[in-house]
Structure 1
Amino acid sequence: MEIHPKITPIYQTSVFKFDDLNELEQYFGEPGSRYMYSRNGNPNSDELAAAVNRLEGGAGAIATGSGMAAIFAALLAFCQAGDHVLCAADIYGGSSSLLNAELSRMGITVTYVPFEKLYDVGQYVQPTTRVMLAETLSNPLLRVADLRRLATECHEHKLKLVVDNTFASPILTQPIGLGADITLHSVTKYISGHSDVTAGVVVAADAEVAARLKQIGVVYGLTLSPMESWLAVRGLKTLRLRMREHSHNALAIAQFLQQHPAVRAVYYPGLADHLQHALAQEQGGGLFGGMMSIKLADDPEVVNRFMQRCQRWPFAPSLAGVDSSLSYPLGTSHRYLTPEQQEELGISVGVIRLSIGIEPVEELIADLKQALES
């Protein structure tokens, strides 16, 4: 009896069988013709990589065990010992920890570029500079990078542009179409979308770079498991619908918070007074995503009371699930920056990051209202 499942089954196996030596030779002689060992490739992880690759318009992709593994693979695709990396100062704390604490041990150095200098990096470029790492929407203050302009600047200096597109998702922005050489995601966030998967994906604009990513994934053992891959593919199928709801809810909440006397600032690119609002509108196709940060009084007690009173916003240091949550950058994602770096980036005691879910927006606003009125 032939079986034709509509949904790809979970290939929960570490190894695949061969009938004879001819099939073994076929595996090595015709790459991609069959599977041997799940670290080298599995139908589920390949399905996820191919699906994100299509959304991003890439030439090839790999799925990895986490977003951090994706960042690691992307940088190794272009860098070796002795090379130098430029990194936007507004970056996820895990990215800076990787560069500072681990890649430095491999002889790869980094210089951080302030946001206002991203499009004039000549003074930071060294003979060994290979890569610029930046985010579409910065974490946590939602500054928007002009990716087309940034790619042009990088390529003028013979640099590769690597873009972390996690906050935007491919529904808002496709960095490769704007000139990026690699785009990557923490699949844990919007792509999977249900806070039940830890995964990453890296997409290359060039087929040779995609092959290099594949090699890095296999040799370093970064490959994603079949079960996680299957869950992420299932989540990906509703990404377009979810991003619309995330964006709709976030804009309504941002407008409410902007008028509340207890809120000193709202960082959301969908607001007309956001410094990169027009750029965000162009790059996001009219959607602005579900991430924002707000600033309350720089007083730990004020922050604590707000968190304790929130009923619909659990304090959970991640983001982008269908259920709303809040996080505290100073104590989690950006904890290991120096106080000077935190101050330069505007990450103060009162800054709280909100991940807006897809619940009824009236309920979310009502809960924020009662929590703020304490």
Structure 2
Amino acid sequence: MPHIKPKATPIFQTSVFTFDDLNELELYFEQPGQRYMYSRYANPNSDELANEVNELEGGIGAVVTSSGMSAILTAILAICKAGDHVLCAEEIYGGSAALLNQELSRIGIEVTYVPSEATYTFDALVQPNTQLFLAETMSNPLLLVFDIRKLAEQTKQHGIKLVIDNTFATPVLTNPLSLGADIVIHSVTKYLSGHSDVTAGVVVCQADEDLQRVQKVMLTYGLNLSPFESWLAARGLKTLRLRMKQHCLNALAIAEYLENHQKVEQVWYPGLTNHAQHRLAFEQGNGYFGGMLSFRIKDDAEAVNRFMQGLEQIPFAPSLAGVSTSISYPLGTSHRSLSKEQQQKIGITVGVIRLSVGIEETEELLTDLERGLSKV
């Protein structure tokens, strides 16, 4: 057979790999990472994806998982055990809050939510058993931008790990590890794969001890990613830089349009100069502000319905970060599990709509948004 050198990585669609004899089996255990045995442990496709994301984030190693939620679970379980305590930013993805409140609490991991005004002065909330602080580079859905360097200084003073969900920013905008974070997680489902056809997650580590624990949790709990989805995500990753530039360009144009629209009461986008963390977002995002924004029309569910029904091009889809623009409704989807008090406190009201801006032509998107708003 001639020597084959494919330009694109093949899909290793197998659950198990074979050995010639007992000697080769022993080499597998003596030289970790040099051979493959079982795809739950490792697979060439998942390794390729992990290595590429790790390079983008500047870590010492990464582990891919079956979803963004399993990435969050893996990161927390790698650091925490029963009896430990977690600090979590008050403005956090609803799925992360549900995991902490409903599931990890059942196995003895306690959580305290840090109010936005105490983000960098949370000393009084730290307990002797506090192990980590969980936050997002930019919060979902109201785009609060966290000063990761400042947050890292605080967590290091208390000897706790800083875990940053970098899904909204991506490594094109921000590298949390370089700013002092210990662990970075992504829902690869979103921007990294980029085409709304993959469900995956990744955990990137700064320290070898954390990486070993993350690998152990993924393997033991069976949170691995399939070869085919690994291959798809790695293929999507190749256009990440190009896509993010267009996402950002479109989002800024739309935010400026919405800010000046008479039927829009508020816009949340870090690229707007009136955003509270505009300067921080500019510096931490290398001049880019991301492709996510939220806005509020009047707090009336029927008005929201009329807006959605008036759109012809932009679909209502409860996810984000694909190449096609979509809208979502945080109150009824991502933050549904929060109490009414929690929803009100962080500003998620009936009229709040989240817009995941795609890479279409800007004018097409503005025309469709005007069509929807004309029905309000």
Residue 4 of structure 1: aligned partner: 5
Give me the whole-angstrom Cα distance separating, in 1, the residues matched to 2:290 and 2:314.
Answer: 17
Question: Residue in 2 aligned with 1:351?
Answer: 352
Deviations 1:108-153 (A, max 9, x none): 0000001121101111111111100000000000000000000001
The worse-fitting range, judged by mean Cα deviation, of 201-210 and 185-194 is 201-210
| Matched residue, 2:149 | 148
Counterpart Cα distance in 1 of 2:5 and 2:337: 51
Give the Cα separation in 2 of the matches to 1:121 and 1:248: 36
Partner of 1:331: 332
2:234 counterpart of 1:229: no
- 1:158 aligns to 2:159 (yes or no): yes
Map 1:33-182 → 2, pairs under 5 A: 33-182=34-183
Distance across 2 between alignment mates of 1:208 and 1:312: 48
1:77 aligns to what SS in structure 2?
Answer: helix
Q: Name the aligned partner's letter for residue 237 of structure 2.
A: L
TM-score by length of 2: 0.99
- For 1:281 and 1:253, how far apart are their aligned partners in 2? 18
Identity rate of aligned residues, in percent?
Answer: 64
Distance 1:213 1:342 in 2: 32
AA aligned to 1:211 is Q
Q: Aligned partner of 2:295: which letter? A: I
Gaps of 5+ in 2: none
* In structure 2, C-alpha distance between the alignment counterparts of 1:114 and 1:137, rounded to whole Å: 15
Return the alpha-carbon distance in structure 2 between the equivalents of residues 120 and 262 of structure 1.
37
* Cα distance in 1 for residues equivalent to 2:78 and 2:172: 25
Rounded to whole Å, the distance in 1 between the matches of 2:25 and 2:314 is 53
Shift of 1:353: 0.1
CA positional deviation for 1:199: 0.2
Amino acid of the structure 2 residue aligned with 1:349: V
- Determine helix, strand or coil for the equivalent of 2:87: strand
2:14 is matched with: 13
Aligned partners of 1:116, 1:227: CA distance in 2, in Å? 44
Q: Write the deviation string for residues 80-126 of structure 1: whole angstroms up to 9, x where unpaired.
A: 00000000010000000000111011100000001121101111111
Q: Deviations over 1:224-253 (max 9, x none)?
A: 000000000000000000000000000000
1:280-299 alignment, distance < 5 Å: 280-299=281-300
SS of equivalent residue, structure 1 residue 131: strand
How many angstroms apart in 1 are the aligned matches of 2:372 and 2:83?
51
Residue equivalent to 1:316: 317
Aligned Cα root-mean-square deviation (Å):
0.5
| Residue type of the alignment partner of 2:121 | D
2:305 aligns to what? Answer: 304
For residues 154 and 312 of structure 1, the distance between their equivalents in structure 2, rounded to whole angstroms, comes to 44
How many residues align structurally? 374
CA distance in 1, matches of 2:360, 2:216: 41
Shift of 1:6: 1.0
Residue equivalent to 2:219 = 218
Runs of 4+ in structure 1 over 2 Å off: none
- Gap runs ≥5 in structure 1: none
Shift of 1:373: 1.4
Structure 2 residue identity aligned to 1:42: N
- Give 1:244's aligned residue: 245
TM-score by length of 1: 0.99
Is 1:271 the counterpart of 2:272? The answer is yes
Measured after TM superposition, the shift of residue 207 of structure 1 is 1.4
Cα displacement (A) at 1:212: 1.1
Give secondary structure in 2 for the equivalent of 1:346: coil
Letter aligned with residue 52 of structure 1: V
Q: Distance in 2 between matches of 1:279 and 1:313?
A: 30
TM-superposed CA distance for 1:172, in Å, is 0.5
CA drift of 1:313 comes to 1.4
Once residues 24 and 242 of structure 2 are traced to their aligned partners in structure 1, the CA distance between those partners, rounded to angstroms, is 43
Cα distance between partner residues in 2 of 1:334 and 1:307: 19
- CA distance in 2: counterparts of 1:158 and 1:209, whole angstroms: 14
Q: Which amino acid aligns with 2:62?
A: A
Residue 205 in structure 1 maps to residue 213 in structure 2: no
Counterpart-to-counterpart distance in 1, 2:142 and 2:155: 23
